[in-house]
Structure 1
Amino acid sequence: MLPFNRINRNIRSLKRYRQVLGILIKYGFGHIVEQLNIDYYIELGKRIVSLGTASRELERLTQAARFRLALEELGPTFIKLGQLLSTRADIVTSDVLEELQQLQDHIPAVPTEQIMAQIHQELGYPVEEIFETFEDTPLATASIAQVHRATLKNGEQVVCKVRRPDIQSVIETDTDIMMGMAYLVEKHLPGGDMYDPIGLVKEFRRTIQRELDFSREGRTTERFAANFADDETVHIPKVFWDHSGQTVLTLEYVSGIKISQHKELKEAGLDLKIIARNGADNFLKQVFIHGLFHADPHPGNIHVLPGNIICIFDFGMAGRLDDELKLHLTELLLCVLHRDVDRLIMQLLYSGELHDESNLRNLKRDLTEFIDDYYDILLQDLKIGKLLIDFVEILTEYQIKFPSNLMLLSRALFVMEGMGKQLDPDFNMVEQLRPFAEQIIKDRYSPTTIAKETAQTLQSYHALGKSLPKDIKEFINRINHNKFKIDLEHRGFERLVNDLDKSTNRISFSMVIGALIIGSSLIMQIDKGPMLFGFPILGLLGYTVAGFLGFGLAIAILRSGRM
């Protein structure tokens, strides 16, 4: 029996659960759904799919493409999950990563009346009292929000980002379903626990709940503005807090040219080479100086203003890097430039990411090939973003854990590098990065840093020395009082028990049918009791019951797909 209370205590819509399973089956993932032991819902899903059109066209697509299409049909929450997975090369393969990066929202715009009602509910006043003008047609529409242009009462031009009125309940329902399915994946799929699906869904739920809070995005926007307050090459839109809240974010309207519109940039008299350099410097400052970077720098989020000034929008997705990760990135680049595989492996050992079970010999071979692939490339042709992505793929292959922000950075850097090359064929990201890397190495080995780390190490040993005697005493006491326990957990054992239970039930059912047939045959040999057409009624009744039971058993076996 499916432990529904355990896997989905808060599920709001059984219909939505059926819809999710039906779409997964429709796109060719029925075998995975079946492995989750949701027998009842498999039948419901098959009925849903049987009512639709034939899926021969879908069968011609790759599994990665079908997965992307399934996420798009499942709606905004699952699209957001796909976008999260596109940053997790440790979980999905490279072909799936490429497909997930093409995820698109197909969401119709919310009627203006509902948007205005949402603004009224959040800010406490009707739209007419807040804005002088408010355009009905949205500038942009996405899965979580849509953006409208407006004018404040003082005449300032703004854009108003408004959360979709029903999106909160949709996301809560879908994340409940995801949590239930993650529980089943970890429990029933072989090796499912290795990827920590429950932890992944928890991370996704935390991320998307933060994204739903526009006041958090407003604070992030102001942090970026503060970081670049003295940089004349960057402009961050102003936040109007009097007209903002958790579901509404009002920002300064900035009229610029998309960084990908090269013809328009040239016609405006802007210098593409300077734009490429300013964009790269801006992003590298985010990463290596501030440790807070824009994680979704596609051309729609980057415009160019007069004077080759870079204007950045939409800070809903941001990544963070600490000093240690910055140093590791710098060391990786130096290892490639100096062709030093042993130093790279030592870095992995030092960071604690390389475990004992990793195959060091094969890892060293693959890292040598990785470095050789990039060593002979001229510096101006070296693509740092691609280098990081290839490095992450090696880490994934050997199950070496790495911060999720590293994949976010790899993607963002890859996009920024590509935009730089399009603007200026001679653009060289390595030369842009060099002064930042040199400064990090210089700071890392400065006397101040070494003294600080030495003090921290001594403090840690001091704390360890104080707690060690107490821990040893507690350990010995537990052994002396027979309170020392080791817990063993059998993962996947319940699936075997369920399969054995099904087999036992079928065997018992077959024995009952056999007994009915044998008993009815014996009764047919006796000319006693009530008769029908010259045959004992009791014998005919036994044959009839056995026939119905046998037919039902055959149908159940055929539906399960296991003969």
Structure 2
Amino acid sequence: MDFFKIKKTYYSAKRFQEIVNVFIKHGFGQIIDQIHLGRFIALKKRIKTFGRWPYYKITAPERLRIAFEELGPTFIKLGQLLSSRPDLVTIAYAQEFKKLQDRVAPFESEKIYEVIEKELGVSIEKVFHSINPEPIGSASIAQVHEAVLKDGKEVIVKVRRPGIKQQIMLDLTILHNLAKLIEKYIPESKIFDPIGIVEEFSRAITKEIDFRREASNAIVFRENFKDSPNVYIPYVFKEFTTEKILVMEKVKGVRIDDVESLNKKGFNIERLLNNLIEMYFKQIFDHGFFHADPHPGNILVMDNSSIALIDFGIVQRIDEEFKEIYANIALAIINQNTDKLINEYLKLGIIPEEIDKEKLKRELKEDLEDLLFPLYTYKIEEIRISELIESIMKVALKHRLRFLPELLLIDKVLIMLEGLTRELCPKISIIELLKPYAKKIISKRLQPDFYLKKTLKALNEFKEAAVNIPFQLKTLLRKAVKDEITIRMYHVNLPEFIKDIDKASNKISFALIVSAMILSSAIMHAAEVKPLVHGISVFGLITGIFAFFLGLWLIISIIRSGKL
């Protein structure tokens, strides 16, 4: 057990140093120094990468994206998550992270067979008639192969990369530690909640690497659309699905964006797109459970014109309250009701405690009216959802608002669907198709049971609060009696600012002393201060040598800090 602990600690330290080295290499040495990790960088490595630091010819978001690509699967997935969270990392970083590619070289077919046999506990021949050793898709977490079961059914087999879970778990631990250091030593970073980002990412990627979850998602979708003639969800073979492998029915169809093939088969593209959008609105507003990765590769058109969804790794659930708020947002935009739009967005946003809410509402109204007024001169079908969402997001970021992941995932889905319709059939208006669903949600308020459920929910929350009050008061009084109540006041960034000033002033003082010693050495040589050796002043020589080594020490310390 001790041996395995030592081995794990060794790999953790090695990976930690690798991560720090990559960030140094791509010009983030100052941040590494700020969070007190400079000691993990060998001087040789620091000097070796020093010459590459004028990487600043490209922007910080580009450099961070390159660093993520170099660090591998965990960081690529983190970047992809952040690409949909401009409220956390700003629009510039989010746009750059969209360029992250999750394609890697496939692993050997022998390993595929090894993983499958180990997971199923039987030889491959007992389950599969054949497996194509060439993958049809290869990503950082898994790769996908075509196969045929013993009974002749054609299937898709998704196999997790060997060792990828251990790699991700190790990286998550390191990321969590880095996030804690960033919040500790860079207090202004708390606005972006680094620890919260890592925790959200950890939850998402932990689900993604367990294929049993993806199988469950597919089963739920299949049940939800079992009576729909226009939607097809592939069958999952649960008996052959484990944490590391997923066996699913192979769907034969044409990609939704392959216009040439769709036209050859005689499909009505406008009808297909209308069915696709209707399917997504049904997921969001009726089922409260939607497929959150609708890129064209995940949407196939079958010969009977049914639309098939594949890849259920990224999904999202939303409750009735969220659906109602989102419907209100849609109708507020359509009806040009800025006050309503602000109120609903604030319900979904996270407002920093120090912000004056009334002042925020006034400023938001002014900015949103400036934004939306020109759009109100357009016809509904002329409004681009992508531009509208991006503009609203810019206003939100300006006022330091953050949003629930559900809101941003729905926005992402709408933007991707709009991009597809603009390319294939521009006359389709997603906003027009959205209106009846939004009105349907709002009309539920007219039902008597709507207010009954709201009242019961409010009463239940009040009851829980009332039950907790005595306990909370008892805890507060106990702390007061024991004199354990303290009030902490912290000036944001002042301690770090003082440290930086101290370091800078010490280095300046040190440099002045070295300069004075060099000047003194030169004067002693010129004045031929005795004793002399071969016409050279001994004191001048000693002072010069001492100054040389002190100066070299100063240069090395500056290089190690990454702030030269």
Same-fold call, TM cutoff 0.5: yes
Pair 1:427 & 2:402 matched? no
Residues 502 and 431 (structure 1), Cα distance of their counterparts in 2 relative to 1, 3 Å cut: closer
Q: Identify if the C-alpha distance between structure 1 residues 341 and 508 changes in structure 2 by more than 3 Å, giving closer, same or farther.
A: closer
**After the TM superposition, which residues 37-186 of structure 1 pair with which residues of structure 2 at under 5 Å, given as runs?**
37-42=36-41, 43=43, 45-49=45-49, 59-186=56-183
More moved, 447-456 vs 394-403: 394-403
TM superposition shift of 1:79 = 0.8
Quote how far apart the aligned CAs of 1:210 are: 1.2
Mapped to 1, the partners of 2:311 and 2:235 lie a distance apart of 12
Checking the alignment, whether the CA contact within 8 Å between 2:331 and 2:438 is kept in structure 1 is no
Counterpart CA distance in 2 for 1:372 and 1:308 is 40
Aligned-pair CA distance for 1:118: 1.3
Change (3 A) 1:44 1:71: farther
Match of 1:224 among 203, 216, 221: 221
CA distance in 2, matches of 1:431, 1:389: 19
Match of 1:554 in 2: 554
Q: SS of 2:146's equivalent?
A: strand
CA pair 239-473 structure 1, distance change in 2 beyond 3 A: closer
User: 8 Å contact 2:514–2:551 — kept in the other structure?
Assistant: no
Deviates more, 1:404-413 or 1:544-553: 544-553
Q: Does residue 369 of structure 2 align to residue 371 of structure 1?
A: no
Return the alpha-carbon distance in structure 1 between the equivalents of residues 332 and 446 of structure 2. Answer: 17
Counterpart of 2:430, as a letter, is: M
| Residues 267-314 of structure 1 deviation map (CA, whole Å, 9 limit, x = unaligned) | 012111111011001111111111111111101111100122101111
SS at match of 1:136: coil
In structure 2, the CA distance between the partners of 1:411 and 1:536, relative to structure 1 (3 Å rule), is: closer
Does the Cα contact within 8 Å between 1:225 and 1:235 map onto a contact in 2?
Answer: yes
Question: Which structure is richer in relative contact order (CA contacts within 8 A, separation 6 or more)?
Answer: 2
Report if the CA contact (8 A) 1:380-1:428 is conserved. Answer: yes
1:4 equivalent in structure 2: none
1:526 deviates by: 10
CA shift for structure 1 position 60: 4.0
Question: Match of 1:428, as an amino acid?
Answer: S
**Contact kept? 1:160, 1:249, Cα under 8 Å:** yes
1:292–1:436: structure 2 CA closer, same or farther, 3 Å change rule?
Answer: same
Letter in 2 for 1:555: I
**Matching of residues 509-520 of structure 1 within 5 Å:** none
1:341-490 superposed matches below 5 A: 341-348=338-345, 353-354=350-351, 356-358=355-357, 359-465=360-466, 467-468=468-469, 471-472=472-473, 475=476, 478-479=479-480, 482-488=483-489
Matching residue of 1:198: 195
Structure 1 residues 501 and 392, CA, compared in 2 at 3 Å: closer, same or farther?
A: closer
Q: Mark the CA change 1:536 to 1:46 in structure 2 (over 3 Å): closer, same or farther.
A: closer
Q: TM-score, normalised to structure 2's length?
A: 0.86
Number of equivalenced pairs: 545
Shift of residue 426 of structure 1?
A: 1.8
Query: Aligned partner of 2:38: which letter?
Result: D
CA distance 1:24–1:45, change in 2 (3 Å):
farther
Cα deviation 1:13-61 (Å, max 9, x = unaligned): 444334333333333333333333322345455345358xx677x5443
Deviation at 1:441, TM superposition (A): 0.4
Distance 1:506-1:72 versus aligned 2 partners, 3 A rule = closer
Provide closer, same or farther for how the CA distance between residues 111 and 466 of structure 1 changes in structure 2, counting only shifts above 3 A: closer
- Relative distance call for 1:432 and 1:10 in structure 2 (3 A) is farther
- Aligned 8 A contact 1:235 1:311 in 2: yes
User: Contact conserved, 2:143 with 2:160, CA < 8 A, in 1?
Assistant: yes
**Equivalent pairs: percent with the same residue?**
33
Distance 1:14 1:442 in 2: 58
- Within 5 Å, give how 1:224-303 maps onto structure 2: 224-303=221-300
| Moved >6 Å (runs of 4+) | 503-518, 524-527, 531-537, 539-542
3-state DSSP of counterpart to 2:300: strand
What is the rounded CA distance, in whole Å, between the counterparts of 1:109 and 1:352 in structure 2?
A: 41
What's the Cα RMSD here? 3.4
SS of structure 2 residue aligned to 1:147: strand
Using the TM superposition, give the Cα deviation of residue 143 of structure 1 relative to its aligned residue in structure 2, in angstroms: 1.0
Q: Provide the C-alpha distance between the structure 1 equivalents of 2:264 and 2:402, rounded to a whole number of angstroms.
A: 48
Secondary structure at 2:304 match in 1:
coil
TM-superposition CA deviations, 1:173-223 (whole Å, max 9, x none): 322332232222212235111211112112212211111101111111111
Query: Is residue 188–residue 492 contact of structure 2 (8 Å, CA) maintained in 1?
Result: no
Report the residue type matching 2:130 in the other structure: T
Q: Matches of 1:148 and 1:345 in 2, distance apart?
A: 48
Give unpaired runs (5+ residues) of structure 1.
Answer: 1-8
C-alpha separation in 1, matches of 2:415 and 2:533: 84
What is the CA distance between 1:541 and its match in structure 2? Answer: 10
Letter in 2 for 1:450: Y
Residues 10 and 222 (structure 1), Cα distance of their counterparts in 2 relative to 1, 3 Å cut: farther
The superposition leaves residues 333-355 of structure 1 with CA deviations (integer Å, 9 ceiling, x where unpaired) of 22222222222233345667456
Question: Per the alignment, do residues 562 and 296 of structure 1 end up closer, same or farther by CA in structure 2, a change over 3 Å counting?
Answer: closer
Task: Check the 8 A contact 1:107/1:141 in 2, yes or no.
Answer: yes
**Alpha-carbon distance in 2 for matches of 1:351, 1:502:** 43
Q: Matched residue of 2:87: which SS? A: coil
Hey, what does 1:5 align to over in structure 2? none
Q: Name the SS for the 1:162 alignment partner.
A: strand
Alpha-carbon deviation of 1:421? 3.1
Counterpart AA for 2:441: I
When normalised by structure 1's length, the TM-score is 0.86
Task: Please list every run of 5 or more consecutive structure 2 residues that lacks an aligned counterpart in the other structure.
Answer: 1-7
* Residues 548/145 of structure 1: CA separation in 2 closer, same or farther (3 Å cut): same
Residues 329 and 374 of structure 1: is their aligned pair in 2 closer, same or farther, counting only changes over 3 Å?
Answer: farther
Give the match's secondary structure for 2:89: coil
The reply on whether 1:20 has 2:19 as its aligned counterpart is: yes
- C-alpha spacing 1:45/1:291, structure 2 compared with 1 (3 Å): farther
C-alpha displacement at 1:466, in angstroms? 5.1
